Homo-oligomer: A and B are copies of this chain.
């Protein structure tokens, strides 16, 4: 979905850290960074990325998410990557044999939002491409976050998991505000609609549309219903009247 407005300043409001533990591919780090930038996240922490850091492939796939990639911090251990956090959520696609709460991405986002709103520091952990997080890494998390996947195909790409959490974070943080809204115009008044119906009926009379006078009331009723249902605005009603006039003239000519 192409829609970046490069004239707008990038803001760095309080938001959760995204912690990638031993990510294998630079492409996934880059896509995760891009996903973060899309939804207003900027604190990326990398624990022992397999291909080292900085990583050219990560930069290439981040698609100019420079403020995330340039700020990304490298850590040797999960303990140091999460040292400053006082709310830690760990993503997992499979159940763990641990006494630990399991929540969805939307609940996770709301919890993070409340925590950050109260002045706390929060982070969300994502595991390795092939094996996820280890139980040892989950043990000190406040809760496990999982997604409503199809069990027969539950293996989510790490950047895809990041974008869903980032999306839910943004919804929670902004009150689900969309970047733009639809404009269907002020619906036409009944007078404008009546004018359209009358205009059409007159043209149809001239065109011999109604086979008999008996059938006319029901057919007219159906036309009124059809023309009302779409919620045409005043401009659209004028357009339709122009259409009717054009067809009516053509018949007359």
| Cβ–Cβ contact A149 & B132, under 8 A | no
| Cβ–Cβ contact A4 & B153, under 8 A | yes
Interface residues of A (CB under 8 A from B): 1-6, 8-11, 31, 34-35, 37-40, 63, 65, 91-95, 99-106, 126-132, 143-144, 146-161, 163-164, 167, 170-171, 174, 176-185, 233, 235-236
| Cβ–Cβ contact A154 & B92, under 8 A | no
Q: How far is B1's CA from A128's CA once the two chains are assembled, in angstroms?
A: 7
Minimal Cβ-Cβ distance residue in B for A65: B153
| Cβ–Cβ contact A152 & B38, under 8 A | no
A155, chain B: closest CB distance, angstroms: 4
| Cβ–Cβ contact A127 & B37, under 8 A | no
| Cβ–Cβ contact B94 & A147, under 8 A | no
| Cβ–Cβ contact A3 & B149, under 8 A | yes
Of B2, B146, B150, the residue contacting A129 (CB under 8 A) is B2
